[in-house]
Structure 1
Amino acid sequence: MTKTRGRELSRLRYARNDADFESDGTRCAGWLYTPEGVSNPPVVVMAHGFGAERTFGLPEIAKEFVAREFAVFLFDYRNFGDSDGEPRNLVSASRHVEDWKAAIDHVRGLDAIDRRNIALWGTSYSGGHVIQAAADDHRITAVIAQVPFVDGRAVARASGVKKLLKGTVAGVRDLVRKYTFRGPHTVPIAGYPEEFAVLNAPGAMEGMETIVPDPPVWDNEVPARVFLEIPFYRPVSVVEDVPCPMLFVGGRDDDIVPVSSVRSAAEAADATYVELPVGHFDVYDDALDEAVGYEAAFLNEHLG
């Protein structure tokens, strides 16, 4: 965080209240941020990307939106962070999208916000989830997809055959344990390029370390069955079904999500597209101001 932004946010007056909800019978932890002195503000619904919790850098981004007089609803998926559910850190795109839909329904029942003006903000893996959710909910006002996972095929090709094969073996091993009622077989979420992990592109481990709060309370592991899902998760296939305005933010130097896939998805959706000269994790740190600037301008235009 820059010193200037730190001083500005230190003067920000807002309320943050717990606003938990249920998704398929499991409690999900939610926070509702509301700017002081603003009547019925539009609301931005937010959740994190692959294997991450709401505390991993997102409160600072939420405050940036609150400073611009938007409310923010920030939540953890089932099995993550402060939410209930086992096994822990279970990454499943279909379950996550269900959680997004449950969160949206919950927000529509909250007081002190404009329930008709709801934007979805997703980043990395959740950048795909917001596309899926908005394709099924035509009452959403706007969508922001930041360095979004939009095409599992493109990500799988970039990962290479060796990693795909090893990941498939690990995923099958995890499913065998699941169906024989044993604990999951886990693999690291993030690792260095010479290590086996779901995210082991250059800078992935360092990037995760920049967003995990200090002191870290994070288990760097995920049930390996996610490897069997990644190549087949393709939000780009429904991007044309989203009727509301969308903003895609791509990272030109992104080693995790090929920027060409983000560009193609934006073109298919006829969406607003911004490409920054940054890597995948820079949008939470060095490029946060620039990314939020574009995103806030987009929200002002479509939610104002």
Structure 2
Amino acid sequence: MTQRANAEFPSGQRGERCRGWLYEPEGNGPFPVIVMAHGLGGVKEMRLDAFAERFSDAGYACLVFDYRNFGASEGAPRQLLDIGQQLEDWSSAIAFARLQPSLMRSKVVLWGTSFGGGHVIASAARDQNVAAAIAQCPFTDGIASALAMDLRSSFKVTAMAMVDMLRGLVGMTPLMVATSGPPHSAALMTAPDAHGGYLALVPSGVSFRNHVAARFALNILRYRSGRRAAKVSCPILFCICETDSVAPAGPNRRYAKKAPCGEIRRYREGHFDIYVGEAFERVVADQLDFLKRHVPVKGPAMSKKETT
């Protein structure tokens, strides 16, 4: 039976703690491990446990974590989304996984969804020792995502972002903008399927804040993680939603084709549909097939160096 324990590790110069869960499958380790994190403003309770349970049932350990400033992790100001800081958190999570005696340091897989899917591409390009990666409905191109945004919402959010940037320069508390909202509202995601789809991922009883510091919007255009796909040397699976309203499918397909060992699976659903129901079953099945082919649970005997 799968066991889940709380886990935490330091990240950044101040050593703030990222907190999450470590799933370990039944049996004797060490196990291949999948490092997992969410997307824009998301926390681990928003269906990452559902994916991790399936992977663990198949024999993979899973380290699921919240970014600093979000969820159970430390860090202030709360809800401040800093791209560089989140990439640091990925590096810290990978390093932590490699130090655990029950996990296989040579079989670390990265799994990210939405904005986290973009982080997976960037992290796999930077760390050439990663065994494989899965980028689910990944955010690959800030310009493409910005162009897909409702024009009225874009103007509102940009104004709030500029105000928040000025507030930050003088040490004031952040001005928050909604992560998801109705069409034409001041929110980062305002497509017709965004607000309901995003909030539907939050289970009852979980403390969740549907906002982030508005200054983040000024950095969206500059983040084009898809450009790093050509430098990802490990096998990487791109799960692309063809009717994605947040991370447009066209740029995702173009970047995915540049990955030397890239594979593409396409789904007719939208950005928020593949976390639940029949679409969830299909995407998990595809991801497990990819994992079993490229990072099998039972592989060649490890050297003594790998197990110590």
TM-score range, shorter chain: over 0.9
Q: Deviations over 1:200-243 (max 9, x none)?
A: 11111111222101034211111001110111100111111111
Q: Partners in 2 of 1:204 and 1:216 — Cα distance?
A: 19
> Which structure features the higher share of strand residues?
2
Query: What residue is the counterpart of 1:159 in the other structure?
Result: 149
Check if 1:299 corresponds to 2:304.
no
Query: What residue is the counterpart of 1:245 in the other structure?
Result: 235
AA in 2 matched with 1:299: L
Q: Unaligned regions of 5+ residues in structure 2, if any?
A: 297-308
Q: Partners in 2 of 1:156 and 1:209 — Cα distance?
A: 21
For the Cα contact (< 8 Å) 1:38–1:69, is it kept in 2?
Answer: no
For the Cα contact (< 8 Å) 2:152–2:184, is it kept in 1?
Answer: no
Q: Unaligned regions of 5+ residues in structure 1, if any?
A: 1-12
Q: Partners in 1 of 2:184 and 2:255 — Cα distance?
A: 31
Q: Deviations over 1:152-193 (max 9, x none)?
A: 111111115443333222111111111111110111111111
Query: What residue is the counterpart of 2:3 in the other structure?
Result: 15
AA in 2 matched with 1:297: D
Q: Partners in 2 of 1:151 and 1:266 — Cα distance?
A: 12
Query: What residue is the counterpart of 1:290 in the other structure?
Result: 282
For the Cα contact (< 8 Å) 1:33–1:71, is it kept in 2?
Answer: yes
Q: Partners in 2 of 1:64 and 1:168 — Cα distance?
A: 40
Residues 38 and 260 of structure 1: is their aligned pair in 2 closer, same or farther, counting only changes over 3 Å?
A: farther
Q: TM-score normalized by structure 2?
A: 0.92
| 1:33-182 to 2 correspondences below 5 Å | 33-182=23-172
**How many residues are aligned here?**
292
For the Cα contact (< 8 Å) 1:35–1:69, is it kept in 2?
Answer: yes
| Identity, % of aligned positions | 38
Q: Partners in 2 of 1:264 and 1:185 — Cα distance?
A: 35
1:18 aligned counterpart, secondary structure: strand
Q: Partners in 1 of 2:211 and 2:287 — Cα distance?
A: 31
Query: What residue is the counterpart of 1:6 in the other structure?
Result: none
2:110 aligned counterpart, secondary structure: strand
> Which structure features the higher share of helix residues?
1
For the Cα contact (< 8 Å) 2:179–2:210, is it kept in 1?
Answer: yes
Once the two structures are TM-superposed, the CA of residue 41 in structure 1 deviates from its matched residue by 1.4
Q: Partners in 1 of 2:272 and 2:148 — Cα distance?
A: 17
1:290 aligned counterpart, secondary structure: helix
